[in-house]
Amino acid sequence: MSISKQLTVFSGVQPTGNFHLGNYLGALTQWLDLQHKYHSIFCVVDYHAITVPQNAANLKRQVLDIAKIYLAAGINPRRALIFRQSDIAEHTELAWILNCAVARMSDLNKMTQFKDKAGSKNASVGLFDYPVLMAADILLYQTDIVPVGEDQLQHVELARDLAKRFNQQFGHAFTIPEAKINKEGARIMGLDDPTKKMSKSAASPANYIALLDKPETAVKKIKRAVTDSGSDIKYDVKNKPAISNLLTIYSLLANKSIKELERKYTGKGYGDFKNDLAEVVSKFLTDFQIKFHNISDRQVAKIFSQSAKKLRPIARTTLNKVKTNLGL
Ligand code: ATP
Ligand code: LTN
């Protein structure tokens, strides 16, 4: 009888900006389900954060806060390993090796996120190389499943390509990972512009609802959210992108289907709909923030160090294999 390996799940979030409902509904809610079935590893990717300038005290705070967000959302540290990327040196070591052995300028030149973000000649080399470090994160732990929002698909595709290339050219060292995208919530759009994704680095805070926004602030943002022409509450992404986005948020937070919501608001206007959505969001944030504030920095520090202890040997095993295959 063959013993099948338990599948490994890996994902991460950058400790930058305001963790928002898009991050929560696109990425984190998937992690909550997966942690019950698979060997789950969730990373706070602080080396990715420094691809753009950071303030030291602020970065330190945000690293702890992202871990608290994972915990407050329901990631259970007895089921999943929560760790800080910079605690495990093998991430940058493997990234360097992938840079040289298999990653090519032509691969990275295709990455749309870099093109969107790197407006200036002052962009760091690290920002250009960001997807290779992400591939190293994933491949170090022989990851099978990478739950992310839709915007990260291209990066996971690259991780797959690099792994395949390495295995072919130098001998097997990596599991080929697969992205997992939520059917709904994969791309939550900005409240101020439903044609662009909700984003931590948006120019205006009216774009997003942060999980740490005051509930009153979130209510105001919903009331001011852009709506479409007409007055029907109908899910129609093409013709009614703003209401469709608000319906998605409502449906996922209240655990009600979109059809059910459309029925509930037949004959009612945007005002009634927004009032109720504001209440749903406000309650969600209040409950979430009580849990968040109950977690101490010390608890997080302990979780980081225990997880890193368990993960280092796995990372080392992969890296040793890679180095042997290359003759290093
Ligand atoms: P930025 O917009 O500044 O790049 P971000 O909001 O995308 O930041 P990340 O830390 O890059 O934040 O993303 C964390 C996770 O959240 C990733 O899995 C990403 O795919 C997902 N995600 C980000 N924005 C959205 C969104 N608008 N809808 C759904 N998922 C999202
Ligand atoms: N680039 C991702 C964050 C990230 C990640 C990872 C996600 C870094 N390493 C590994 C999944 C797996 C983002 O969301 N911006």
Residues contacting residue 34 through CB under 8 Å, at least 6 positions apart: 9, 40, 145, 147, 180
b/e per residue 257-294 (b: at least 16 CB within 10 A): ebeebbeebeeeebeebbebbbebbbebbeebbeebee
Q: What percent of the chain has pLDDT over 90?
A: 92
- Asked whether residue 209 falls in the same domain as residue 61, the answer is no
Ligand nearest to the CA of 181: 1
| CATH number of residue 255's parent domain | 1.10.240.10
pLDDT band at 115 (very low <50, low <70, confident <90, very high): confident
Is residue 14 in contact with ligand 2, taking CB distance under 6 Å? yes
Residue with the two structure tokens 């973000």: 117
Tell the residue nearest (CA) to atom 12 of ligand 1.
200
Residue 150 shares a structural domain with residue 280? no
User: Could you list the residue range(s) of the whole structural domain that residue 114 is in?
Assistant: 3-181+297-326
Ligand 1 center to 328 CA (angstroms) = 36
Average pLDDT over residues 127-133: 97
* Domain annotation covers residue 269: yes
- Looking at the fold, whether 73 and 144 belong to one and the same domain comes out as yes
Q: Please report the pLDDT score of residue 234 as a whole number.
A: 96
Give the pLDDT confidence score for residue 114 in this predicted structure: 83
Same domain, 309 and 212: no
Region of poorest pLDDT, from 65-69, 109-113, 217-221: 109-113
Q: How many whole angstroms from 118 Cα to the centroid of ligand 2?
A: 17
Question: Separation of 149 CA from ligand 2 center, angstroms?
Answer: 10
Atom of ligand 1 nearest to the CA of 190: 27
Distance CA 101, CA 211 (A): 40
- 48 with 177, same domain: the answer is yes
Q: Residues 32, 176: one domain?
A: yes
Task: Give the model confidence (pLDDT) of 148-168 as tens digits.
Answer: 999 999 999 999 999 999 999
CA distance 15 to 35: 21
Residue 198 covered by a domain: no
Q: Same domain, yes or no, for 29 and 78?
A: yes
pLDDT over 60 (residue 2)? no
Ligand 2 centroid distance, CA of 74 (Å): 19
Domain count of the fold of the chain: 2
Q: Which ligand gives the minimal distance to the CA of 150?
A: 1
Q: Ligand nearest 14 Cα, by number?
A: 1
Element (H, E) at 82: strand 80-84
pLDDT surpassing 90 at residue 171? yes
Q: What is the mean pLDDT of residues 243-248?
A: 98
Just list the catalytic residues: 117, 197, 200
Least confident of 31-40, 52-61, 108-117, 135-144: 108-117
Average pLDDT over residues 234-255: 97
Q: What is the CATH number of the domain that holds 91?
A: 3.40.50.620
Measuring CA to CA, which residue among 214, 200, 249 is closest to residue 62?
Answer: 200
Could you tell me if residue 319 is inside a domain? yes
Same domain for 164 and 286?
A: no
Let me know how long the chain is: 328
Ligand 1 pocket mutation, candidates 13, 14, 23, criterion most atoms within 8 A of CB: 23
| Domain-embedded: residue 222 | yes
Judgement on whether residues 311 and 176 belong to the same structural domain of the protein: yes
Strand partners, 147: 180
The pTM (predicted TM-score) of the whole model is: 0.96
With CA atoms as reference, report the closest residue to 101 among 39, 163, 184: 163
For residue 4, name the pLDDT band (cuts at 50, 70, 90): low
Complete DSSP assignment for 267-287: T--HHHHHHHHHHHHHHHHHH
CA distances in angstroms from 312 to 81, 126, 217, listed in the order given: 12, 23, 42
- CA–CA separation, 297 vs 290, rounded Å? 15
Does 287 share its domain with 301? Answer: no
Q: Which long-range contacts (CB under 8 A, 24 or more apart) does 257-266 make?
A: 261/233, 262/233, 262/234, 262/235, 265/233, 266/233
pLDDT band at 3 (very low <50, low <70, confident <90, very high): low
Q: What per-residue confidence (pLDDT) applies to 1?
A: 45
Q: Are residues 249 and 210 in the same domain?
A: yes
Q: Is residue 260 part of a domain?
A: yes
Lowest mean pLDDT among 20-24, 184-188, 251-255, 278-282: 184-188
Task: Tell which atom from ligand 2 comes closest to the C-alpha of 133.
Answer: 9
Ligand 1 atom closest to 201 (CA) = 3
Cβ < 6 A, ligand 1 pocket: 13-14, 17, 22-23, 26-27, 148-149, 151-152, 186-188, 197-201
Residue 16 sits in the same domain as residue 80: yes
Q: How far is the CA of 99 from the centre of ligand 2 (A)?
A: 17
Residue 195 lies in a domain: no
Q: Is the dihedral of CA 231, 265, 218, 204 positive or negative?
A: negative
Asked if residue 287 belongs to a domain, the reply is yes
**Residue 47 amino acid letter:** Y
Element (H, E) at 299: helix 297-326
**Predicted confidence (pLDDT) per residue in 252-306, tens digit:** 999 999 999 999 999 999 999 999 999 999 999 999 999 999 999 999 999 999 9
Domain membership of residue 188 (yes or no) is no
